[in-house]
Amino acid sequence: MKRAKMKIAVTGGCGYIGSHTIVDLLNAGYDVISIDSLVNSSETVIDGIQKITGKRIVNYKIDLSVENSWHELLEKEKDVQGIIHFAAFKAVGESVQHPLVYYKNNVCGLIEVLKWMDKASIPYLIYSSSCTVYGQTSELPVTETAVFGEATSPYGRTKQIGEWLLQDLFSGTTRKAISLRYFNPAGAHDSGWIGEAPTNPALNLVPVITETAIGKRSRFTVYGNDYNTPDGSCIRDYIHIMDLANAHTKALDYLIAHPNAPSYDAFNLGIGKGYSVLEMIKMFELISGLKLNYQLGPRRPGDAESIYADNSKAIKILNWTPKRNLEMILQSAWNWERHRSI
Ligand code: NAD
Ligand code: WQD
b/e per residue 171-202 (b: at least 16 CB within 10 A): eeeebbbbbbbbbbbbbbbeebbbbbbbeeeb
Mutate to test the pocket of ligand 2, among 85, 223, 228 (most ligand atoms within 8 A of CB): 223
Residue 231 confidence (pLDDT) above 70 = yes
The whole-angstrom separation of Cα 224 and Cα 221 is 9
Q: Provide the pLDDT for residue 3.
A: 53
Express as a percent the part of the chain with pLDDT over 70: 98
Which is catalytic among the residues 155, 254, 264, 275? 155
Give the CA dihedral 312, 317, 321, 322, nearest 10 degrees: -60
> Would residue 4 be called left, alpha or beta, if left means φ above 0 and alpha means ψ between -120 and 50 degrees?
alpha
- Going from the Cα of 254 to the center of ligand 2, the distance in angstroms, rounded, reads 30
Task: For domain 3-188+238-271+310-323, give the CATH number.
Answer: 3.40.50.720
For residues 342 and 319, the model is more confident at 319
Report whether 134 contacts 266 (CB < 8 A): no
Per-residue pLDDT at 199: 80
Beta strands in the chain (DSSP E): 7-11, 31-35, 58-60, 80-85, 124-130, 176-182, 184-186, 220-223, 235-236, 238-240, 264-269, 275-276, 294-297
Domain ranges of the chain: 3-188+238-271+310-323
Question: CA 133 to CA 236: how far, in whole Å?
Answer: 15
Q: Report the percentage of the chain scoring pLDDT > 90.
A: 93
The model's confidence at residue 342, banded by pLDDT at 50, 70 and 90, is low
Cα–Cα distances in angstroms (integers) from residue 288 to residues 36, 197, 255, 292, 331, in the given order: 34, 21, 41, 10, 8
Nearest Cα residue to atom 43 of ligand 1: 130
* Bond preceding residue 259 cis, omega within 30 of 0: no
How many helices (H) and strands (E) in the chain? Answer: 12, 13
Cβ–Cβ under 8 Å, residues 257 and 293: no
- Closest atom of ligand 2 to 299 CA is 33
Q: What is the mean pLDDT of residues 283-289?
A: 98
Q: How far is CA 177 from CA 66, 68, 172, 289, in A?
A: 22, 21, 11, 44
- Predicted confidence band of residue 2 (pLDDT cuts 50, 70, 90): very low
Ligand nearest to the CA of 278: 2
* pLDDT given at position 197: 87
Residue 193 has pLDDT above 80, yes or no: yes
pLDDT tens string 75-130 = 999 999 999 999 999 999 999 999 999 999 999 999 999 999 999 999 999 999 99
Q: Spell out which residues line ligand 1, taking CB within 6 angstroms.
A: 12, 14-18, 36-41, 63-65, 86-88, 90, 105, 109, 128, 130, 182, 185, 198, 204
Mean pLDDT of the chain: 96
155 is annotated as an active-site residue: yes
Instruction: Decide if pLDDT at 15 tops 90.
Output: yes
pLDDT for residue 201 is more than 90: no
Please compute the mean of the pLDDT values over residues 3-29 and round it to a whole number. Answer: 94
Identify the pLDDT of residue 341: 63
First and final C-alpha spacing in the chain: 37
Give the pLDDT band (50/70/90) at residue 168: very high
Which ligand lies nearest the alpha carbon of 158? Answer: 1
> According to DSSP H, which parts of 192-299 are helical?
205-214, 241-257, 277-288
pTM of structure: 0.98
Q: Rounded to 5 degrees, what are φ and ψ at 154? A: -55, -35
pLDDT of residue 202: 86
